[in-house]
Amino acid sequence: MQTELVTKIHNQALELRVRDLLLNLLTVSSGAVDAISFLALGKVFSAFMTGNIAFLGLRVAGAPAPGAVAIVASVAAFAAGVYLSTRIVKSSERSGMWPQRVTVALGVSLIGHAVFLAVWFASNGEPTIEVAHVLLGSWALAMGMQSAAVRTLHVEGVFTTAATATIIYLAGDITNWSATVAERRRFAGVLVSLFVGATTGGLLLVHAHIYAPVLPFVITVVAVATAAIVFWRRNAGDEGDLPSRDDRTPDRHVRHC
């Protein structure tokens, strides 16, 4: 019995590390997506909707801002992605640390990445304004699906497509140092991953323009494949006998992270 308990704790710790690694990978992907979108598609974001809403406000005010159609296309596609992904994952509330449906939703989001790559290569990496709208919509759909899928994991302060909440949690923790070491490491890892993704995406766009969008696609493929390998079999066997959300992570027994 004690051996089984030790094994279970070890497996949970391993799955927790894999989960955080996957969150970092997805954040690198979204960082690259936004860097490439902003630089190559008319100064509009595909993942960072706060920036797009601000741009839309500037547009309404008559100040210099990206095109309204591009902004609306990105925001609408992102919302559609959130809706679709939520429909896929909505029954995963008590399905383990990384539910099967999260992997499915991320897998479906690859369609948006694939459409982007097909259109991008067809236009030789130099899309017209109209084609850029299609590209923004494709990536925003994928990013919306990713955001909704990650939200299902209930990892506090981590969204993979925006850093504001993560900075709030990390900076706010300084007041009472309530977060665990693992949580602080997770917050810092997400911020670093977003920076790395944006930096790498920008560098690729400058030095290997046509191949830049391949990076977020490949990273997402790796994340989906890793999640399927690590979590799929366990979820299939244990879905009927899983702890509540608050007890899933070994680094925090009282509150979920």
Question: What is the tens place of the pLDDT at every residue in 70-100?
Answer: 999 999 999 999 999 999 998 765 668 899 9
Q: How many CB atoms lie within 10 A of CB 148?
A: 24
pLDDT at 152: 93
Secondary structure letter of residue 247 according to DSSP: G
Q: Is residue 255 predicted with pLDDT exceeding 60?
A: no
Read off the pLDDT of each residue in 90-118 and give the average, rounded to a whole number. Answer: 90
Q: How many CB atoms lie within 10 A of CB 156?
A: 16
Q: Is residue 201 predicted with pLDDT exceeding 80?
A: yes
Q: What percent of the chain has pLDDT over 90?
A: 73
At 13, is the pLDDT very low, low, confident or very high (cuts 50, 70, 90)?
confident
The pair of structure tokens assigned to 135 is 């590209």
Burial pattern 98-119, b for ≥16 Cβ within 10 A else e, equals bbbbbbbbbbbbbebbebbbeb
pLDDT at 14: 86
pLDDT at 91: 73
Of 4-13, 14-23, 210-219, give the lowest mean pLDDT range. 4-13
Q: Is residue 235 predicted with pLDDT exceeding 50?
A: yes
The identity of residue 187, as a single letter, is: F
At 5, is the pLDDT very low, low, confident or very high (cuts 50, 70, 90)?
low
CA angle, residues 150, 17, 14, in degrees to nearest 5: 120
Q: Is residue 253 predicted with pLDDT exceeding 60?
A: no
Read off the pLDDT of each residue in 203-219 and give the average, rounded to a whole number. Answer: 98
Outline where the chain has alpha helix (H): 2-40, 49-61, 68-89, 100-122, 129-151, 164-172, 181-207, 214-227, 233-238
- For residues 159 and 1, the model is more confident at 159
At 247, is the pLDDT very low, low, confident or very high (cuts 50, 70, 90)?
very low
**Tens digit of each residue's pLDDT (9 = 90 or more) over 179-192:** 788 888 999 999 99
The identity of residue 81, as a single letter, is: G
Backbone angles phi, psi at 128, to 5 degrees: -70, 175
pLDDT at 250: 41
pLDDT at 243: 38
Q: Is residue 249 predicted with pLDDT exceeding 60?
A: no
